[in-house]
A and B are shown apart, each in its own frame.
Chain A
Amino acid sequence: MIIDIHTHILPEEVSDNPSAFAKKDDYFAFLTTPSPANHTEQRYATYQEAVTQMDTDGLDALAIQGWGMLSHELCVEQNTYTLEAMKAYPTRIIGFGIVHPKGGKKALDEVERCLAAGMAGIGEIDPYGQRFSLDDPTFLRICDMCIEAGALMNIHISETIGHSYFGKSDIPLNEYVALIKKKPDLQIIMAHYGGGLPYWELLPEVRQLCTNVYYDTAGSPLICSSEVYQATIRICGAHKVLFGTDYPLLLFPQVEQQPNFRSIIDEITAHVSSDEDRRALLGESARNLLVKNNLCKEVTT
């Protein structure tokens, strides 16, 4: 079973005319407008196009993560589209809702709406792009709502060293660790290898602390060497590493012009030697996490 836990499928209003939509959201504009300094190759896909690509590439299911918009209203629009996708493909599409903590009570109501409608959690929430603090009271309440509902949270994080690129979070790793300490029961999927946190699990204290922390591989070929899959599995175990792509982002822009899932699956297949680890990484670990929390039964059964 192959599950991509990290994609961004945006409403057709966005994919039809990204530059027009960019006028509504500054951070979206910052990330997606081509410029001499921004080398990201953003692409767009509707959920119907994504499912066609899934069929081509042998993907069983994917999770739509929300894009961290700056306004409450745009978050709601996205969630409505994600719910539509889930309804259209209940066995193939998992939804994560997006909110902005500055929405306050409206954001909390939206979390309730998303989780009640069967979403697996909240994400990819982005303290850097959405410009909120990890100790924001509304955000912490959102964390509690996820805990109470047995839902997941996917949170954006980036490696704290290395070169700069658009979208690279500069929120210090320590602040995420403080959140984990504050909310040890929150089941967090930390995007993009948790910004390096997996390594710290070599410290018994950190491993204990991160019992409910998982890491996704989103964007991997753009930022890491292909050894990262095996190394991360060896450090923290395949059950904690979840396959994610950031689809429809172009992961191999030098050689591909169309987004797909297959190229990164092939890279993983080539670099994770054990069948068991590879199966876990590509889907079983995500499935187990959903099953454990009684989420998205149509997908997991």
Chain B
Amino acid sequence: MKKVRIDGHVHLLPQEILSYMKKHKNSLMDRFPVADTQVWDVEQLLAEAHEANIDTFHLLGIQWPDSQMCKDHNDYSKEIMDAYPGLFYASASLNPTDGWIAVWELERCYLMGFSGVGELDPCRGSYSLSHKRFLQVMEAAHIYNMVPTINVSPPFISIPGIDDKTPIDEFYDLAKRFPDSPIILTHLGGALPYYELWPEVKEAFKHVYYDTSSTLCIYEKGAIKKVLEIVSPHKIVFGSGFPLYVGKECTTSLLSVTTSVFDQLSSDVSNHIMGANLQTLLEKK
């Protein structure tokens, strides 16, 4: 496996969806309050990535309320993968509440070469992690070795764009239900890494990974370093959240996000966190 630096949490949107979002501002812009001020363009990403010394990307989908939007988004991700061979991994946009349509779309994405599913968003989809339709998607992801990425964020504060009120014990139950499936939890997993200090949680979370997206905007400085004292560096994957650097007093470029994360890492773990961990997960497929 060649050494890579992967941004594990990137969102790019096709023009049709951006136009649709602007047109339906009231219903969709609350999900992405900064959407109209951010650039969602692949050229912009590549320019910023060059500066930040990032060479590979994990395109995450969005759990759109409409299955056609999920499909359009996935087609766009496929276009990008084809246009830049070897530069992009992709996860499928799905809405588990669509039932069989979501599972069918997952299969289509698998055939198109996608490596994962998500970013799934139980809170905005108003489903619990024990909802049958969600579990069907998880089962299918497990069968196809597609890694699910699930949005998690701190429940006590309101962060536009990534709010999540899913009870954290549901993540424990989910991990126990899929003990052999890797699951990536975003935004440093809310508080979940701390609970790995409880042995039974550590055991259940053997294959749970945490991405660093939006970390710098949500948590205090140095948070990643502190989390690394609790969980193995093999469980942390770098992700910027491009272009949604949400939160207060947030950094505004991929370079500054990358640098802030990288500066918290010792040399012996940085390769794992900045790329190798995610590469191993996504290439299992």
Contact = CB atoms under 8 A, between A and B. Distances in A.
Contact of A225 (B157, B198, B218): B198
B157 A161 contact: no
Interface of B: 154-157, 167-169, 171-172, 191-195, 197-202, 218-220, 223, 226-227, 229-230
A159 B198 contact: yes
Contacts, number: 76
Interface stretch (A28-36, A55-63, A128-136, A230-238): A230-238
B198 A231 contact: no
Contacts of B218: 203
Contacts of B201: 161-162
Contact of B154 (A160, A161, A203): A203
B200 A162 contact: yes
Residue from the set B167, B171, B197 with the largest chain A CB neighbour count within 10 Å: B197
Contact of A161 (B156, B195, B199, B219): B195
Contact of B220 (A202, A209, A228): A202
B156 A206 contact: yes
Interface string A13-27: 000000000000000
Per DSSP, chain B at the interface is helix
Contact of A205 (B157, B197, B198, B223): B157
21 contacts: A161-B171, A161-B192, A161-B198, A161-B201, A162-B172, A163-B200, A196-B191, A202-B219, A202-B220, A202-B226, A203-B154, A203-B218, A203-B220, A204-B219, A205-B156, A206-B156, A224-B199, A228-B197, A230-B229, A231-B194, A231-B230
Given A202-B227, A203-B219, A206-B157, 4 more contacts: A160-B167, A196-B194, A225-B202, A231-B229
A206 B158 CA distance: 12
B171 A200 contact: no
A235 B223 CA distance: 8
